[in-house]
């Protein structure tokens, strides 16, 4: 891999990390709001999550597009037998490169899965 391709890969990976940290922060904000009595804060935190991705799609798996261009970041995963997200993987790419899985711990995958479960995929399926 040449130096330019390596720099693009590192740039895309850094964007994936930034997206993950943003997701973690949104979920922490929601968790704190749910611990309190402020319904408005809970609703605002949920709304921020739902308005975060650029796109949410269903194919054989779900795709949540977080940002595009160079670099692009998305979450992909499979559904369980009830149509709920069962797995979640963060991927990134830069211009003209394949999608690459962002290395994650089990706890980080759980964070992404929790984020993905905020979207109503049945409604998206009905819109197809």
Token pair 């991705």 is found at 53
Q: Is 94 exposed, middle or buried (0-12, 13-18, 19+ CB in 10 A)?
A: buried
Domain ranges of the chain: 3-127
Q: What tokens appear for 122 in the block?
A: 């049945």
pLDDT digits (tens, 9 = 90+) for 20-79: 999 999 999 999 999 988 899 999 999 999 999 999 888 779 999 999 988 999 999 999
Model confidence, pTM = 0.70
Residue 4 confidence (pLDDT) above 70? no
């Amino acid at each position: 891999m040449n130096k330019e391709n390596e720099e693009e890969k590192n740039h895309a990976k850094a964007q994936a990390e930034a997206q993950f940290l943003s997701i973690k922060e949104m979920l922490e904000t929601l968790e704190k709001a749910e611990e309190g009595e402020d319904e408005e804060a809970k609703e605002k935190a949920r709304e921020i999550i739902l308005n975060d991705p650029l796109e949410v799609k269903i194919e054989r798996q779900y795709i949540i597009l977080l940002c595009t261009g160079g670099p692009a970041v998305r979450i992909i995963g499979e559904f369980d037998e009830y149509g709920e997200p069962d797995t979640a993987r963060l991927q990134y790419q830069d211009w003209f490169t394949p999608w690459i899985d962002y290395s994650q711990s089990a706890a980080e995958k759980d964070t992404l899965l929790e984020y993905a479960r905020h979207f109503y995929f049945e409604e998206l399926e009905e819109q197809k």
